[in-house]
Amino acid sequence: MKVSSRMETTRHRSNESATGSDRVSTEVDSLKESFGQLRSDVMDLLSHAFGIGRGGAEIAKDRASDAVQNLKGHISDLKSHGADGLTAIERKIEEKPLQSALIAFGVGYVLAKVLGRR
């Protein structure tokens, strides 16, 4: 009877270790599956984030391009107004050359006195 009892104990332990081994194997498989799903989710998230970043960069590029075109338009307008102002000054000088020369001399004299004192 002692031999038979020992055999049953050994079988029982063998069954317990097989059952424990199955549980561990099941848990490991479950963890592998969970990590695989996590990796897939992280890859999807990164892909989406980079997609948004690229889209945002494209929008920023378009806005910057629009701003540059707008700035070029303003610069062109300023050049036009500057040329018109210069033409008006030239006309005034041609109309009254003596008065223009005296004004230029007076402005030069005042600037020389102010800058010469430093």
- pTM over the 0.75 mark: no
How do residues 68-92 score in pLDDT, each as one tens digit?
899 999 999 999 999 999 999 999 9
Backbone angles phi, psi at 96, to 5 degrees: -135, 75
How do residues 24-47 score in pLDDT, each as one tens digit?
788 888 888 888 888 888 888 877
CA atoms within 13 A on the CB side of 20: 6
Sign of the CA dihedral with 10 first, then 11, 14, and 20 last: negative
